[in-house]
A and B are shown apart, each in its own frame.
Chain A
Amino acid sequence: MNYRKYLYGSLVIAALLTSCSDLEEDPYGLINTGSFYKTPSDAESAIIYAYSILPEVGYYSRGFLIITELPTENLTQKGDAGVSNFELDELRTTSTNADLDNIWTYLYRGVARANAVITNVPNVPNMPEVSKNQIVGEGYFLRALHFFNLVRLFGEVPLRVDNIVEASQVPIAKSSIEDVYKVIIDDLQQAESLITSQRISEGRANKVAVQALLAKVYLHLASSKSSNSPGYDFVADADEMYAQAKNYSGKVTNEQTAFGFTDNLVDIWNTEIYKTAPVTEHIFDAAVDRTGEIESNYSKLPNMFLPADRRMVIPYDPLVPTSATINIGQGWGHFRTESAIYNSYAANDKRKTQLIVSQYKGEDGASYTLDISGNARPFTRKYIDPLRVGDKSSANTPILRYSDILLVYAEAAGPTTEGYAAINKVRARAGLGNLDPSLGVQAFRNAVVEERALELAFEGNRLFDLRRTNTMEEVLEHKYNKTITSGAYFFPIPQREIDTNPLMKP
């Protein structure tokens, strides 16, 4: 019978077809772990992706300043802002606060991106060790930065140091503050040894940035311990931490030349100067540029500060009222400068006269004066791009600035010659006289913190300075008549995390 022939023939066909279909999925148009981290360009691209979280709207281009500035005496918000802004401003946050949920989410997205670099880039083949180390070091730096922000905002947090590849890794418990700092310091020390470059490019971290961040971390531990700030009992010796802070900030202020002190206040903040000058104060920024296609490639952060009344024209150089004018457009008036910070500047403090815009002209030439108690208030000049294109601006958000580290150095060094020299350098630039030369250790450090409030206003430092000096109540409640209901030293962990992470249940 020839049916056997058919039978065998068809079985062979079927078998052939079966064998050629292993049902492996071959993705199109998308990149994933399986196809990435193969070349030096992939490694470069991986670290770029890790950086790109920084200027996102949810992070340094808006969210971070909402979280860190509204609770302090620096900023309040417009009347029709969301309820979560009001909760922050009035220090009564709950676990369902949308802004906290947002910053939490972005911080951990950053952690995940950094973890991907730390896990995968060391295995990239055929890549020079130096460039590989540089990129992995930047990954460690970014992870440390995110965890430093997390621990300062929320205290005990899940310590995610593994690249997540499957859902079973998602449940994870909180770690102690001590353990979080161990990872931060370890990461930064790794980064310091891996990164050799003093300066790579705008928006990328370098050895100086690593040392600057380490100095801030040690100072936070030192001052938190010495002031008995909640949660920092674990720190063994405050003085040792101060010494480390001095050591690392000293490396920034004394041992490098890539970054330095800018003598003219306004120049620190002029995008056309700080983005091109050979030496700038901007050790590390969340970088943006007005030629970007989407927000987070460019920044709309200036709109948060600028009043919404009308387009505004101001002198290009506030030192020279007759200088060329720039049209800075109009903003959303979302942030409102509080009278507390505005009035705490001495009348002749250049950081007020030059860096806060209190008057402007309309496009028709009419003059307007901004009222610190009105809806349209004086606003900071720190985020103004004179060449902005519509809403697109090149205004970077500073993450590590030379003057910040100079003041870290002063605070760590205490009332010593070099301590006084550091703070007086900052004061002199603001047009102020020298600090009382006979201060005790505590009084000197308090004076540095006060100087930081004026120098670093609207840059996202004040909340942490108050927390690490255990002065949230003393300053915000007693001095500025705010009421703190919740979240004084640590904000509540977002409810979404508690609901979806089974090991987070209280």
Chain B
Amino acid sequence: MKQRYLLFLFLSLLLSSVDVWAQAVTVNGTVKDGTTGEPLPGVSVVVKGTTTGTSSQVDGSFSISVPSDKAILVFTYISYLPQEVPVNGRVSLSIAMQTDSKSLEEVVVVGYGAVKKSDLTGSVATLKGSELNRTPAASVDQLLQGKLPGVQVMAPSGQPGAGATIRIRGASSLNGSKAPLMVVDGYPWGDAGNLKQINPEDIESIEVLKDASSAAIYGSRGANGVILITTKKGREGEARISFSSLNTISALPVKPDLWRDPVEEATYANEAAINGGLVGVDIPFTGITRNGVYYPSIAELRGLDPNKPQWPHNTDWVDLVYRNPFSQSYTLSADGGTEKTKYSISGNYYKEEGLSIKNFYDKYTGRLNLDQQLSKALKAGTNVVLAHTKTNGFGLSVDRSRIFPAYDENGNYFRTGPTDYGNPLAHANQVLSTTKTIDVLGTIFLDAKITDWLQFRTQLSSKYGNSEQDQYEPATATFRGFESQGYGSINNSTYTDLLNENYFTINRTFGTDHALNLVGGYSFQRTVNKFNTLTGQGFVNDNLQNENLSAAVTKTISNDLSRFDLASWYGRANYTLMDKYLFTFTGRADGSTKFGANNKWAFFPSGAFAWKVSEEEFLKSIETISELKVRASYGLTGNQGISPYQTLDRFGTARYYTGTGFQTGFGPGLASGNNEQGLTIVGGLGNNSLKWETTRSFDIGFDLGIMDQRFTLTADYYVKNTSDLLRLKTIAPSAGYDQQWINDGEISNRGVELGITADVLSSSELNWTVGANFTVNRNKVVSMGENDQIEIGTLYESVRQRISTYAVGQPMYVFYGYKTDGIIQSLEEGVNAGLTGAEARPGEIKYLDISGPEGVPDGVVDSFDRTIIGNPNPDFLYSFNTTLTFRRFDLSAQLYGVQGNDVFDFRKMTPSRQIQRWTPDNPSQEFPRANSTRGYRASDFFITDGSFLRIQNVTLGYNLKPGLIKGVQSLRVYFSGNNLYTFTKFNTGFDPEMGELGINEGNYPRPRAFSIGVNVGF
């Protein structure tokens, strides 16, 4: 029975097929690359207006039945221009697909829409996902380094999962965010820096909106620029399945500058103790026992002590702490669809091991983009992203003395005393530090095509994220653990975000000379961040770690939540006159709960004009110039600058003893931290007039293309002035408050950006392209109300001051401290310099007396002698990209350079320099004598040029000839080397790339990575 049924089914299928053949015309053909002539497999071939489609075979051939010989075939393939070919009665077609990488017809995503690249009026930089380097990266952010002019990416840490700091056209806020807005598929996600939820391989394109004209559509979040990420969408045709893998082995790029010889280390330590005025048992390596630990003498270390054998320990901490980590990334993706339904789906597993033992980062991400045409006029779709990460461990120190062993005779971690927590192996193995995150992001949208020229889109998006951090520090492992007798905590933070966007798009042409594109809409976004922390201190033993905090002696809980809404009206008008003169007007009105009743709403308008000079008759005749466009824009963007509730008055709380117990009080004045004397600073006075920081930017630039875009040059000059800076003003203490948030102050950024591309060689077998980017930015603090200078950042105990400052007339983050002039060679020289006590001794750093209370040198080196001593902002950034393809091989390289920045190098006195120290026999002018009790001052002694040029990436790839393996449409194998070499004069043993403040305290080393990658298309 069953068999008969099946037979019936088969026959009816066969019959129905025959039925189709009976009416159709079959068209055969091949699809090739228009430049190289290579057959192209996987090209989607669809009969226009139907769902009938196929895709080309490995040899580029296709066969399709069309309903009539008047049908039109549509050929689409990624990175190629789509083609529509009328059949016109032919039965055999030969199609040459043209790549669209340099095309002026290329469409560029801008906020709430897309425009042809040639029609851009603002300053927008674009990058294709395929142009990203293939190297382990937890997020795309660090891969943007050196890729785009005007975009500065700082990724000083090599820790797995670490993000990056991104600045577009400089920093322009004192207290607010300086990071660009990250928008993923039309959903503003927040500050750029760690886009861990998106697998870089899923990215179709990246657009960076740099000037006011392009960024003003994001209004109060546009002042720092906007990065738009577009993920891959489904295309018509059969399922295209691809698999890629990246396996990486990494290594320390440079040897840390450490003591190699225990004798030298001990000699230095003893000399430093003696010079520091220590005596007796405080001189370390003299063959004595202290705190139950024996400290060998130098003779013993050398093996020259007749009564003792040579000291057996010489621990290589680098060997024990660092490893050659192995990292992996696997992506499986599929896309395809019909005219009505399109899908793109992918999943990724990513594991990055850190250079430090026990340190790793695990990530799983999944993504689905699905579009469905509901009717002729209606299209619905969804984007879903899931991400799950786990970080374990931390960076470890390797500069522990090599004289002592890692383990004692009982196999326990060796400690030089009961409060020695410096053994990195103990730290790595005993301290629990794990962070897990989950992110779920989704969008559903509905597009309605109301008329040919009027469209409406409504979109609902939601983001949910949770981060949970587990920590446990046993009493024997850290000082905090010791103080608490076991310290355990669980930190939870959750965010939710809800966005609704509704906007109309109008596209109309009037006659041949006028084209109009209008966008207008409303959006509402609500963000809620919630935190809670559970801490336990004092545990009986370490067995449960933080798993039962209620067993702790002292338990602390804290929780907090912040919630803010943003409502916006926005609109943009693009008007094109005779395809030569382009006008853009953009505006966005943003209303935020964060701001005071008097300034809830702000309006950010901008305007731009572009002139396609190359479309003018007088240039049209010059064939070599394929594009010349001059652009100018001016407009306002904003920055929200502060966290919620700052405009409101906020009460403080305190307890008071009233005989039988404590009572809790509430009232005006909220403790907001301590000043440098340790006294409470009180804030909490509301300000109903707080408003947005406003950036006024002017941009002028041009785009030049020569020889059919074979050579292109984009140049921009900009001036950005940010005013109404949000800052805490010191107010009269008689008010009962010390400070209040207000708007004043101004920062300016000016700069030049150049981007150059050249197809130096272009033939069917050999292609060579070269690209270069160049970025100059000059930042200046123009005013800060009543203050000329504010010290910011960490208060460094070792120099008893903050180092970074904002100073009027100077770039942000300049270093503040003493000037020096080499090393003191005689006591007389030291005393004459205005120094006293140990500071005046020969071999010490010669600080300079340059001022005094009256503004003139007063013969004393004191805090009046401090001045601006360095600038961590680079003079310029530059990068080169080049790709050479020869037949099936390709070779690409990227270089990235930073020039002219100062680094405050706390780690300046490395062992290789300690060896060159000042001694009476070696009157160094460069490095001071050994002195273990010296209190350094923050001075230009520590300032070092941080310029570098890095060979960022070299990739060699091979594309296997299609069709060699059955079922495999394409196969690419490549080798990629990352962070291969750095040219620099900076402190040997450290990576010269620093964070924005330019202070070197010893970052997690950035690994040198060697990867092998495979991409397979099925």
Flag the segment in B104-112, B401-409, B641-649 that touches A.
B641-649
- Whether A292 contacts B458 in the complex (CB less than 8 A), given A13-B502, A18-B522, A112-B737, comes out as no
Contact B657 A297 (CB under 8 A): yes
Contact B562 A28 (CB under 8 A): yes
Contact A25 B645 (CB under 8 A): yes
Measured between beta carbons, the chain A residues less than 8 angstroms from B685 are: 164, 166-167
The reply on B989 being an interface residue by CB < 8 A is no
Measured between beta carbons, the chain B residues less than 8 angstroms from A44 are: 663
A496 touches which of B504, B669, B687, B733 (Cβ 8 Å): B733
Flag the segment in B326-334, B590-598, B696-704, B820-828 that touches A.
B590-598
How far does the alpha carbon of A85 sit from the alpha carbon of B657 in the complex, in Å? 29
Interface positions of B from 372 to 409, Cβ below 8 Å from A: 377
Interface positions of A from 12 to 45, Cβ below 8 Å from B: 13-14, 17-18, 21, 23-34, 36, 42, 44-45
Q: Could you jot down 24 A-B contacts, CB within 8 Å?
A: A6-B456, A14-B502, A17-B522, A18-B524, A29-B560, A29-B561, A30-B645, A31-B651, A45-B666, A48-B665, A49-B652, A51-B658, A55-B657, A58-B679, A105-B738, A109-B682, A111-B736, A164-B685, A166-B686, A201-B658, A287-B658, A291-B662, A297-B656, A496-B733
Measured between beta carbons, the chain B residues less than 8 angstroms from A47 are: 665
Measured between beta carbons, the chain A residues less than 8 angstroms from B663 are: 44-45, 48
Q: What distance in Å separates the Cβ of A281 from its nearest Cβ neighbour in chain B?
A: 16
Q: What distance in Å separates the Cβ of A200 from its nearest Cβ neighbour in chain B?
A: 8
The reply on B1016 being an interface residue by CB < 8 A is no
The reply on A90 being an interface residue by CB < 8 A is no
Q: What distance in Å separates the Cβ of B648 from its nearest Cβ neighbour in chain A?
A: 6
How far does the alpha carbon of A102 sit from the alpha carbon of B665 in the complex, in Å? 22
Measured between beta carbons, the chain B residues less than 8 angstroms from A54 are: 656
How far does the alpha carbon of A166 sit from the alpha carbon of B733 in the complex, in Å? 14
Measured between beta carbons, the chain A residues less than 8 angstroms from B735 are: 108, 112, 160, 164, 169-170
B520-564 CB mask vs A (1 if < 8 Å, else 0) is 011010000000000000000000000000000000000111111
Measured between beta carbons, the chain A residues less than 8 angstroms from B591 are: 21, 23
Q: What distance in Å separates the Cβ of B444 from its nearest Cβ neighbour in chain A?
A: 14
| Residues of chain B at interface, number, CB under 8 A | 71
| Residues of chain A at interface, number, CB under 8 A | 85
Contact B677 A287 (CB under 8 A): no
Measured between beta carbons, the chain B residues less than 8 angstroms from A200 are: 658
Measured between beta carbons, the chain B residues less than 8 angstroms from A296 are: 654
Contact A297 B655 (CB under 8 A): yes
Q: What distance in Å separates the Cβ of A101 from its nearest Cβ neighbour in chain B?
A: 7
Contact B665 A49 (CB under 8 A): yes
Q: List the A residue with the shortest CB-CB distance to B522.
A: A14
Q: What distance in Å separates the Cβ of B685 from its nearest Cβ neighbour in chain A?
A: 7
The reply on B730 being an interface residue by CB < 8 A is yes
Interface, chain A (partner B; CB < 8 A): 1, 3, 6-7, 10, 13-14, 17-18, 21, 23-34, 36, 42, 44-58, 98, 101-102, 104-105, 108-109, 111-113, 115-117, 157-158, 160, 163-167, 169-172, 200-204, 275, 287-289, 291-293, 296-297, 494, 496-497, 499-501, 504
Flag the segment in B290-298, B411-419, B446-454 that touches A.
B446-454
How far does the alpha carbon of A46 sit from the alpha carbon of B667 in the complex, in Å? 6
- Whether A23 contacts B450 in the complex (CB less than 8 A), given A164-B685, A166-B688, comes out as no
Measured between beta carbons, the chain A residues less than 8 angstroms from B448 are: 6, 10
B740 touches which of A104, A167, A293 (Cβ 8 Å): A167
Measured between beta carbons, the chain B residues less than 8 angstroms from A166 are: 685-688
The reply on B19 being an interface residue by CB < 8 A is no
Measured between beta carbons, the chain B residues less than 8 angstroms from A111 are: 734, 736
Q: List the A residue with the shortest CB-CB distance to B678.
A: A57
Contact A1 B451 (CB under 8 A): yes
Contact B733 A21 (CB under 8 A): no
Q: What distance in Å separates the Cβ of B549 from its nearest Cβ neighbour in chain A?
A: 18
How far does the alpha carbon of A29 sit from the alpha carbon of B592 in the complex, in Å? 20
Contact A167 B742 (CB under 8 A): yes
The reply on B567 being an interface residue by CB < 8 A is yes
- Whether A25 contacts B733 in the complex (CB less than 8 A), given A36-B666, A292-B662, comes out as no
Q: List the A residue with the shortest CB-CB distance to B735.
A: A170
Contact B650 A30 (CB under 8 A): yes
- Whether A32 contacts B648 in the complex (CB less than 8 A), given A23-B567, A113-B667, A171-B732, comes out as yes
How far does the alpha carbon of A46 sit from the alpha carbon of B669 in the complex, in Å? 12
Contact A21 B734 (CB under 8 A): no
Measured between beta carbons, the chain A residues less than 8 angstroms from B760 are: none
> Given known contacts A3-B451, A21-B565, what 8 new A-B pairs fall within 8 Å (CB)?
A6-B377, A25-B644, A58-B679, A112-B668, A112-B735, A167-B687, A292-B657, A499-B786
How far does the alpha carbon of A24 sit from the alpha carbon of B595 in the complex, in Å? 9
How far does the alpha carbon of A142 sit from the alpha carbon of B450 in the complex, in Å? 71
Q: What distance in Å separates the Cβ of A139 from its nearest Cβ neighbour in chain B?
A: 11
How far does the alpha carbon of A292 sit from the alpha carbon of B574 in the complex, in Å? 67
Measured between beta carbons, the chain A residues less than 8 angstroms from B655 are: 48, 52, 292-293, 297
How far does the alpha carbon of A203 sit from the alpha carbon of B257 in the complex, in Å? 61
The reply on B600 being an interface residue by CB < 8 A is yes
Contact A104 B450 (CB under 8 A): no
How far does the alpha carbon of A494 sit from the alpha carbon of B733 in the complex, in Å? 9
Measured between beta carbons, the chain B residues less than 8 angstroms from A157 are: 734
Q: What distance in Å separates the Cβ of A292 from its nearest Cβ neighbour in chain B?
A: 7
Contact A202 B659 (CB under 8 A): yes
Q: What distance in Å separates the Cβ of A360 from its nearest Cβ neighbour in chain B?
A: 29
Q: What distance in Å separates the Cβ of B793 from its nearest Cβ neighbour in chain A?
A: 23
Contact B658 A45 (CB under 8 A): no
Q: What distance in Å separates the Cβ of A339 from its nearest Cβ neighbour in chain B?
A: 30
A17 touches which of B456, B500, B668 (Cβ 8 Å): B500
How far does the alpha carbon of A204 sit from the alpha carbon of B657 in the complex, in Å? 9
A113 touches which of B454, B648, B669 (Cβ 8 Å): B669
Contact B657 A108 (CB under 8 A): no
Measured between beta carbons, the chain A residues less than 8 angstroms from B561 are: 28-29
Contact A172 B734 (CB under 8 A): yes
- Whether A27 contacts B645 in the complex (CB less than 8 A), given A113-B668, A202-B658, comes out as yes
Measured between beta carbons, the chain A residues less than 8 angstroms from B504 are: 10
Measured between beta carbons, the chain B residues less than 8 angstroms from A297 are: 655-657, 662
Measured between beta carbons, the chain A residues less than 8 angstroms from B732 are: 158, 170-172, 496-497, 500-501, 504
Contact B736 A164 (CB under 8 A): yes
Q: List the B residue with the shortest CB-CB distance to A49.
A: B665
How far does the alpha carbon of A18 sit from the alpha carbon of B600 in the complex, in Å? 14
How far does the alpha carbon of A382 sit from the alpha carbon of B848 in the complex, in Å? 49
Q: List the A residue with the shortest CB-CB distance to B500.
A: A17
A3 touches which of B450, B592, B650, B666 (Cβ 8 Å): B450
Closest 9 pairs between A and B when the two form their complex, measured CB to CB? A112-B736, A49-B665, A48-B665, A3-B450, A49-B667, A202-B659, A501-B732, A52-B654, A201-B659
Q: What distance in Å separates the Cβ of B677 from its nearest Cβ neighbour in chain A?
A: 6
Measured between beta carbons, the chain A residues less than 8 angstroms from B733 are: 101, 104-105, 108, 494, 496-497, 500
Contact A21 B657 (CB under 8 A): no
How far does the alpha carbon of A49 sit from the alpha carbon of B685 in the complex, in Å? 16
How far does the alpha carbon of A206 sit from the alpha carbon of B448 in the complex, in Å? 74
Contact B656 A500 (CB under 8 A): no
Measured between beta carbons, the chain A residues less than 8 angstroms from B521 are: 14
Contact B665 A50 (CB under 8 A): yes
Q: List the B residue with the shortest CB-CB distance to A276.
A: B659
How far does the alpha carbon of A51 sit from the alpha carbon of B685 in the complex, in Å? 20
Contact B656 A55 (CB under 8 A): yes
Q: List the B residue with the shortest CB-CB distance to A4.
A: B450
- Whether A7 contacts B666 in the complex (CB less than 8 A), given A29-B561, A36-B651, A102-B679, comes out as no
Contact B662 A23 (CB under 8 A): no
Q: List the A residue with the shortest CB-CB distance to B504.
A: A10
How far does the alpha carbon of A172 sit from the alpha carbon of B563 in the complex, in Å? 36
Q: What distance in Å separates the Cβ of B483 from its nearest Cβ neighbour in chain A?
A: 13
Contact A45 B664 (CB under 8 A): yes
Q: List the B residue with the shortest CB-CB distance to A101.
A: B733
A289 touches which of B458, B524, B662, B665 (Cβ 8 Å): B662
How far does the alpha carbon of A253 sit from the alpha carbon of B79 in the complex, in Å? 98
Q: List the A residue with the shortest CB-CB distance to B521.
A: A14
- Whether A165 contacts B686 in the complex (CB less than 8 A), given A7-B456, A21-B524, A23-B591, comes out as yes
